[in-house]
A and B are shown apart, each in its own frame.
Chain A
Amino acid sequence: MRFIMHGLLSVSLGGLFLAGCTTSPTEALKLDTQTSELRGLQTRRYTGASEAAMLSAGLGVLQDLGFTLDSSESSLGVIAASRKLTGHRPLNTKEAVAGLIYSAIVPYVAGPIMAYRAAVGYKEPQVVHLCLVTQPAAGEAATVRITAQRRVYQDEKLTQLIKLEPLNDPAFYREFFDRLAKSVALEEQKS
C-alpha cells in the first residue's frame, strides 16, 4: 500500500514538473521587455508619403523578394504575404562536434564531407509568412510595421514540419527597410 502511494505521489509530482515545461496560451499573450525593442526594429516612419503610397511600395518590395500576396485590406493598411524558399543554416555545435569526430575516425571520407557541410551548411526548406501594416501618422507621414515568422521543414516537399519560429533578427528588418527606403526614395526616420 505504502509502495503504491509513493508511486502515485512521484507520478503526480513528475506530472506537475512536466506541466511546467509545456507552453500555454497564457504565455503567448504576455508583453515583455523585448516587446518595445522588437517594435522599434519592426517599425519605420516615413515622412512625405501617404499611407497608400507606402502600402503600394511595400507590396512592390515584397514582390521583388519573391513573396506572393496571400490577402490584403488597403482600407486598414494590411498586406499578408508568404514565400517558400530553401535557405541554409550553419552547423550547430552538436553537428560540428559529430563531424569532427567522424573526420578523426575516417579522415579521407568524412573530412571532405565535413568541410563541404561547414562551408555550405544544412538545407532549410521553409515558408516565410510576413505581414506589413501601415498607419497614417501626423504631418503627411506614415508608419510601416512588419512582423514575420517561418515554418521550417525537414524535406523540400514541405511535409515534415520541424520548427515554428518568429523572425526576430535585426538584420532581417534592416535589410527589408533599406529596400523599402530605396524603393520610395523618401526621408526615413526610425520611429
Chain B
Amino acid sequence: MNRSTVSLLAALGGTVLLGGCVGNPSLAVFATESQVKLRSYQTRVFDTTDREKMLRTVLATLQDFGFVIEKADATLGSVSGTKLNQYEMRMTVTVRPQGETRLLVRASAEFKPKGNAAARPVEDAAPYRDFFAALEKSIFLAAHQVD
C-alpha cells in the first residue's frame, strides 16, 4: 500500500465519519438556535388568572401594532396575526395558566423582509421586549421574567 492510497483511504474514512455529524434530516425541526435563551426572550409571567382578559388584551396590543388577526382560539389560549408593511411579520401568542395564580404568556414571531428573502424566526430580544412592554401597559400589570 503506497502513500497515496493511504491518504485516499484516510480521506474517505474522514468523509464517512463527518457525514455522521450532519444528523438525521427528519430531526431538523428540533434543531433551533439556543432554545433556552430564546424562550426567555419570548416568555413572561403575569400575576393574574384572567385568561380571557389577557387574550383580549393580546388582541388589542397586536392591533395597536398594526397586525391583522388571523386566528384566535379561546380554549387553546392562542392568537395569531400578520402585519404587512412591505415586510411581512407573523406572530403567535399563547396564554397558559402557570400554577394557581399566574399566567404564562409566550410570543413567537417570524419575519420576512421586503423582496424575495425567506421568512426567518425572530431570535433577537428587542422585538419581544417591545411587545411585552406594550402588553403590560395595556393590562396594567407587571410582566415578570420566567425564573
Interface on B for A, CB 8 Å cutoff?
Answer: 52, 55-56, 59-60, 63-74, 79, 81-89, 109, 111, 113-114, 122, 124, 126-127, 130-131, 134
Chain B interface mostly helix, strand, loop or mixed? Answer: mixed
A25 near B124: Cβ-Cβ < 8 Å:
yes
Given contacts A23-B87, A166-B85, contact A131 B114 (CB under 8 A): no
Q: Is A35 an interface residue (CB 8 A)?
A: yes
The size class of the interface chain A forms with chain B is: 35 or more
Interface on A for B, CB 8 Å cutoff?
Answer: 22-26, 28-31, 35, 38-39, 42, 70-71, 73, 75-78, 80, 129-131, 133, 135, 145, 147-151, 163-166
B71 near A80: Cβ-Cβ < 8 Å:
yes
Given contacts A22-B113, A133-B60, contact A28 B87 (CB under 8 A): yes
Given contacts A26-B126, A164-B87, contact A130 B68 (CB under 8 A): yes
Across chains A and B, which 6 residue pairs bring their CB atoms closest together, nearest first? A164-B84, A131-B69, A73-B72, A78-B72, A29-B130, A25-B127
B65 near A165: Cβ-Cβ < 8 Å:
no
B65 near A29: Cβ-Cβ < 8 Å:
yes
A132 CB, nearest partner CB in chain B, Å: 9
